[in-house]
Structure 1
Amino acid sequence: MRQTPQPGTLTLPGMEDVGLSPIRRQYLELKRRQPDAILLFRLGDFYETFEDDAHLAARVLDITLTSREMGRGERLPMAGIPVHAAETYIGRLIAAGMPVAIAEQIGNVPRNGIVPREIVRVLTPGMLLESDLLVGTRANFLLGLIRDGSGFGLAYVDVSTGELLVTTVTGPSAVELATAELVRIGPSEILVQSDESIDSLAPPGAAITRRGPELFAPLAATRAVVRCFGGALESSGLADHPLATRALGGLLAYVQEARPAATRTLQHPRLYAVGGTMVLDRASRRNLDLLESSAGEDSPTLLRVLDRTSTPMGTRLLRAVLGQPLLDVERINARLDAVDRLVADTALRSRLLAALRGLPDLERLAIRAGQHLLMPRECLSLASGLERIPGLRRALESASSDLPPLLDQARPRAVPEAVADVRATLRDGATVFEEGVIRAGVSAELDQHRSLGGDARQWIAALELRERERTGVRAARVGYNKVFGYYLEVSTAQCGQPTDYYQRQASGVDTVGEHLERLGWIRKQTLANAERFVTPELKEMESRVARAHDDALQLERELYNALLERLAARCELLADSARAVAVLDLLVALAESACAHGYMRPLVDDSDRLEIVDGRHPVVEQSLPPGQFVANNTALGPDARVMLLTGPNMAGKSTYLRQVALIVLMAQVGSFVPAASAHIGIVDRIFTRIGAHDDIAAGRSTFMVEMIEAATIVRSATARSLVVLDEVGRGTSTFDGMAIAQAIVEELHDDQRPGGAPKTVFATHYHDLTALASALPRLRTYRVDVLERGDEVVFLHSVVEGGADKSYGVHVARLAGVPDRVTQRAAALLKQLETSPSPRTARGSQSLQGDQ
């Protein structure tokens, strides 16, 4: 950004840069190209930032803010980071949601003027290819979003894997579905039009990037798509999806602007329907602790329980499938067939697991190969990973009988040509590009340059002995530094010593220093304690070494670039192989989890049944000793739509609700489930209203949040949905809460409501609601059982038929450590209230029963 002119200064149009130093003008020109990014401007061994960028960098990175004179006598704020540690600092800027543009020195410093600089990389939160900046277990999506009326177009890409998907969201529930889809995708960065407000849609933590509406204009977007992928829109299935096309076109234009090479490795866009998989809104994902726990970062989640993957790409695929359960019975059972085979065939599973363990991130390495970004150590890592793939193929081929289709199709290609190419070209142990990275024997010309350089170095090493003999100066030694190159060094004291007889005979002078100069030594540098010299022969040999070194390094760069070109040509094949490995890793992980935790295969079909025998909570049971978790049954279907669950606090009602939802979700992911048996009819959505929390930032109380979630459920649930509701109405007065709870139960039970009656598990402390069983034929009452022994209460955690008549709140207060005088007083008041109901309570009960 420009420095504000001093007050009283007249600046004419077109004269803004007059009086600025050349380096300042160069900086301003580069900054104009990326005005929204933090510009890291290479100066020697540092990347410097200036003006507003410097203030931001100093604050975010906690580095020193200084200043530098840049023309017109003005000192500009400046903050710098060392080049060798730049990736760490860049990662912190990206994590803070700041795009970063890197301006590197290009070419050599000219005789007159400044070194040319160009922006070589633009890094944004959603466009990262650098391994050090990416989390291996998570996809890193950049999402383009366009909104037109009540419809949305979404396109999202992970440039590190090439995955590219597009969809359109329309209809009366478009906002709700688009919000849920954004939560599922979890983009690192969202690209929108400059005038678009998406605060209510964007998930927390996503960086928002705004661009002009021309980027998303229909014609410009269509051209961007055709330019990137060729052909007509019809070939991509996008012709009938104008909003998806606009989102995709804007996304591609943005990627082309920041990282042009990234468009070469993108997969063909895959069009999908949001309704094609189970929709899980933000509340359900939070309440079920699928990927992140609402209790904290290190708390257990379903992902952590099931994650027995061996590769980064397998972990990413597991995260994806857990967030997007299937609705297609055939696809679910195909995945279950594969897992079933691996569970039954221990030998096959063990061989696959051994071959998978320790594989590098082949998917991201393949994409980096396609963009010529691989470092030597990454090339060797890619080769090492590809060498392991024949082991996977042998394991599959050794199977005793025919494999299920999903396993049979997941046969990765080994690509031996790429392995042989890398091994033949690169030196073992190479890490970064430097002299000697290319293996000997690859190029006769390179070997010749190295031989010349080696011979010259040997000659220089022998020069020390020859010059000592010729001059008679026994302490002379050959040295080298990067500034002066090779030299001959003699101490200052010895240079001042008188010459001996033989030296005077050879040169006719009185001191050693003069003697050396007479013999052709040229004084090059004077130090406090030594004199440094060169000879014509030494200078010539040094030039030969430098030329041989430069020629060898240039040739090594050419040979390395040629290797990258050959690997890039195999990028698509490498990426396909990596994705097959990810599928195998996912299936093996699901089978390992099933065997480790005692899961069983569910029966999944298109029926309207939800029957679970001895179901367990997959996350909670891991925190208990083996066999301690109390298993429970669930039975919902055409004749039983609502399960009304009552019982005391701390008895496990909320755990049971989550357990039912998680078993259904796991079944539709294609995983075995924690139950003795399970019959799961396809569920289109899982709705949850569990726990109490407010939204202070949005000005919403706990009860308001509860009612918003309940409204979403009542409005959107269908006969194919599963609804789990916990303590609806507890955030307000008893009578208001009971009235709302009863009205919601009646609504969800009504098969004449729009969408039909969903399968519902409704937990409540309003015990009077159990009376609804006599009026609602498809409502069943259950309770979480307890055992009373005098004043002692034992929670059995068993779900049994019938309603509860107590909540045992005073007992729970006693367990929580509330002082005895308080709990004793509460017990006395409770007994008084139970035996002498107030007139208002009586009127309230009659009113509810009368309404019923």
Structure 2
Amino acid sequence: MSYSSRSSSSQGFSDAFSSLPGPLSRTVNAKLAPRDSTAERLSTTSSTSSWSSYIDSNAAGSRKVGSSRPGTARSARPNPPRGPGAPDTYFVVAIIEGRGAASEVGIAAIDLRTSECILSQTYVKTLHKLNLLEPVQIVTSITTVEPKSKLISIIEDALPDVEVTALMRKYFNDNAGVQYIKQYGLAEEYGSLMLGISAKYFCLAATAALLKYVESMQNVLFTSHSIRFKYQTVEGSMMIDAATARNLELVVNIVQPKSTHTLLGVLNKTQTAMGARLLRMNILQPLCDISTLNARLDAVEDLTRSEESFFDVRSALKSFLDVDSLITSMIQVPAKTTVKHAENSINHVISLKHTLLLIVPLRLALGGATSDLLRAILKVLSDDRLEALQKRIDEIINEDVQYQKSAMGLRNQRCYAVKAGFNGLLDVARQTYMETTNDVYELVNGYREKHGLPVKLNYNPAMSFHMTLTQDQLGDRELPEEFINVIRKKKLLTFTSLRLVGYVSPAPAKVFVNSISAA
């Protein structure tokens, strides 16, 4: 069935296709996704800042636009998302403008949540690209701000909430950009990528400055061949400027920003965070490539022919974590290893184990697929390397370890994740942890019996072990004096005791976590 005869079905597929997990979208989209994510002229105005807390500071040798002296590092808390239509991305963008009458603009943007780097070289659609990415930081050359170029002036007017930082011109080096792509790009994609961008000097220069800036400010190095670079041309998608997207309420309701009464809210029945991001992107830049649309519609038709397969796929996707974010967390290497990093590393392995186990039911659900798109996805899910990775994890991690959402549950899973016998110090620390945890529970049970109060034991990383009690449970009584550090939040009382604080000193926890990391 051709696109023209079933265009009415394309809207329904936005939901089904955007439910695919992250690794699949990374692989399949490289072939089928639109080659361009922009389509707007420089007259576009409007932007929103992303919500993640990254940085609001400058690298050595950098300068904020309009500042009379180099900036210093400081923390920033960008505005949180205003509603369901806010982007689930965290882009830092570098731009460099060519000179002369036929100038072009090189753009490199990295999403720090997914470690995907988008490259582009254009001019007339520069502002549309920035509006679409909604960056938290824009990096440019100091030569474009002293004196200020027309492009930078337009960007500052159109994106008033986004900080523009100027770097020294020497960081915008196309040869360095090639080396960055060779070092960090996926090895199997390097040849085809460079074939398309080898002559895109401004794009490569922006890439060099972007990665230099992220490394300097984040103090994090990426592992080799871990970043997916995508070069996007100006064809393949329809142009929707920011003003039109706002007036049509495509992703944000004008009257009530937190409302789901938008096109995105109506269509969004996705099961994963990756699917929601893909759906949002396809709404803001609709496809106009016939072959890609037909491939997606074939997949919709395939799923609608088998109700059982459709619901099996949805059920399998429901438990997927944000795989893009998980991959990013695992490929970034901090300059200094800390206890927090060791804890997160264990969490990531547990999450990876959880994700690999979910691939099996998803693969079974797609077993009867006939469309090219679903068969391509099935091929990715059947990669032997996934099974090898799972076996490697099972050699070290206990098979009964499962991903937990609660802080206490995840803490316990961390403690018993590594099998016994891999590290003698770990086995001793684990026994100590078990005894300490039992003592904590006995202490809280003793408080319940002593005071006749239904005290509840809680745990979170910030406060460690603590106790809670509602005002209704306490009644007219006063809280016993041995309970200290009392925090009242509405009807909930949070507190601890000197004995409980003694059980949760950081030293044993540090030894234990370091032992797990070493194992």
Map 1:201-600 to 2 at 5 A. Answer: 201=155, 202-203=158-159, 205-229=161-185, 235=194, 237-259=196-218, 261-264=220-223, 266-299=226-259, 300-371=261-332, 373=341, 374-397=344-367, 399=368, 402-411=369-378, 412=381, 415=387, 416-417=390-391, 420=394, 423-424=397-398, 431-432=410-411, 436-439=415-418, 441-443=420-422, 445-446=424-425, 449=428, 554=511, 557-561=514-518
Deviation at 1:206, TM superposition (A): 2.6
- Asked if 1:184 corresponds to 2:132, the answer is yes
Preserved contact between residue 221 and residue 332 of structure 2 (Cα < 8 Å): yes
Preserved contact between residue 376 and residue 431 of structure 1 (Cα < 8 Å): no
Task: Give, in whole Å, the separation in 1 of the partners of 2:161 and 2:107.
Answer: 18
Distance 1:271 1:424, change over 3 A: same
Map 1:789-800 to 2 at 5 A. Answer: none
Deviation at 1:92, TM superposition (A): 8.9
Preserved contact between residue 353 and residue 393 of structure 2 (Cα < 8 Å): yes
Residue 120 of structure 2 is aligned with which of 126, 143, 167?
167
SS in 2 for 1:252: helix
Task: Give, in whole Å, the separation in 1 of the partners of 2:193 and 2:318.
Answer: 42
Deviation at 1:312, TM superposition (A): 0.8
Deviation at 1:162, TM superposition (A): 1.8
Question: Match of 2:105, as an amino acid?
Answer: F
**Which residue pairs with 1:607 in the alignment?**
none
Preserved contact between residue 193 and residue 231 of structure 2 (Cα < 8 Å): no
Map 1:674-693 to 2 at 5 A. Answer: none
Preserved contact between residue 139 and residue 166 of structure 2 (Cα < 8 Å): yes
Question: Match of 1:212, as an amino acid?
Answer: M
**Which residue pairs with 2:43 in the alignment?**
none
Give the structure-1-normalised TM-score: 0.36
Preserved contact between residue 218 and residue 246 of structure 1 (Cα < 8 Å): yes
Preserved contact between residue 141 and residue 188 of structure 1 (Cα < 8 Å): yes
SS in 1 for 2:222: helix
Preserved contact between residue 214 and residue 220 of structure 1 (Cα < 8 Å): no
SS in 2 for 1:403: coil
Preserved contact between residue 179 and residue 281 of structure 1 (Cα < 8 Å): no
Task: Give, in whole Å, the separation in 2 of the partners of 1:452 and 1:561.
Answer: 17
Task: Give, in whole Å, the separation in 2 of the partners of 1:267 and 1:451.
Answer: 36
**Which residue pairs with 1:595 in the alignment?**
none
Task: Give, in whole Å, the separation in 2 of the partners of 1:233 and 1:260.
Answer: 30
Distance 1:157 1:193, change over 3 A: same
SS in 1 for 2:212: helix
Deviation at 1:453, TM superposition (A): 6.4
Distance 1:272 1:552, change over 3 A: closer
Task: Give, in whole Å, the separation in 2 of the partners of 1:125 and 1:146.
Answer: 26
Task: Give, in whole Å, the separation in 2 of the partners of 1:451 and 1:407.
Answer: 45
Map 1:54-65 to 2 at 5 A. Answer: none
Question: After superposition, what is the alpha-carbon deviation per residue over 1:164-213, rounded to whole angstroms, capped at 9, x for unaligned?
Answer: 111110xxxx34x1111221222222111234352423535333222122
Question: Match of 1:140, as an amino acid?
Answer: Y
SS in 2 for 1:407: helix
Distance 1:418 1:145, change over 3 A: farther
Preserved contact between residue 107 and residue 119 of structure 2 (Cα < 8 Å): yes
SS in 1 for 2:154: coil
Deviation at 1:261, TM superposition (A): 3.6
Q: Aligned residue pairs: how many?
A: 348
Task: Give, in whole Å, the separation in 2 of the partners of 1:209 and 1:136.
Answer: 24
Deviation at 1:395, TM superposition (A): 0.7
Task: Give, in whole Å, the separation in 1 of the partners of 2:290 and 2:313.
Answer: 27
Preserved contact between residue 438 and residue 556 of structure 1 (Cα < 8 Å): no
Residue 141 of structure 2 is aligned with which of 166, 179, 193?
193
Give the structure-2-normalised TM-score: 0.57
**Which residue pairs with 1:148 in the alignment?**
98
SS in 2 for 1:240: coil
Task: Give, in whole Å, the separation in 1 of the partners of 2:164 and 2:428.
Answer: 52
Question: After superposition, what is the alpha-carbon deviation per residue over 1:311-341, rounded to whole angstroms, capped at 9, x for unaligned?
Answer: 1111111112222222221111111111122
Task: Give, in whole Å, the separation in 2 of the partners of 1:253 and 1:450.
Answer: 40
Structure with larger RCO (C-alpha < 8 A, sep 6+): 2
Larger strand fraction of residues: 1
RMSD value, Cα = 4.2
Stretches of structure 1 that go unaligned for 5 or more consecutive residues are: 1-90, 102-120, 127-134, 458-548, 563-852
